[in-house]
Amino acid sequence: MSILDQLHTLTQEAEASLAGVADLAALTAWKSCYIGKSGSLTRLSRGLGALPAEERPAAGQRVNQVREALDAAFAAAEERLKAAAQASELAAEQLDVTMPGRVPALGYVHLTNQVLRQVEEIFGEMGFQVTESPEVELDANNFSLLNFADDHPARDMQDTFYVETPVDGPAVLLRTHTSPGQMRVMRERAPEPLRILLPGKVYRNEQVTVRSEMMFHQFEFLAVGRNITMGDLKGTLAYFAERMYGPGTKVRLRPSFFPFTEPSAEMDVSCFLCGGEGCRICKHAGWLEIGGCGMVHPTVLRNGGYDPTTFSGFAGGFGPERIAMLKYGINDIRLFYGGDARFVEMFG
Q: Which segments are annotated as binding site for Mg(2+)?
A: 262
SS3 content of the chain, % helix, strand, coil (to 5): 45, 20, 35
* Residues annotated within a binding site: 262
Residue 251 main-chain phi, psi, to 5 deg: -125, 140
Rounded to 10 deg, the angle between the 24-34 and 3-19 helix axes is 170
Q: What distance in Å separates the CA atoms of residue 238 and residue 256, rounded to the nearest whole number? A: 19
For the chain, the residue count is 348
Contact 45, 7 (CB under 8 A): no
Contact 18, 77 (CB under 8 A): yes
DSSP β-bridge partners for residue 289: 268
Contact 292, 264 (CB under 8 A): yes
Peptide bond into 263 cis (omega under 30): yes
Q: What distance in Å separates the CA atoms of residue 6 and residue 209, rounded to the nearest whole number? A: 87
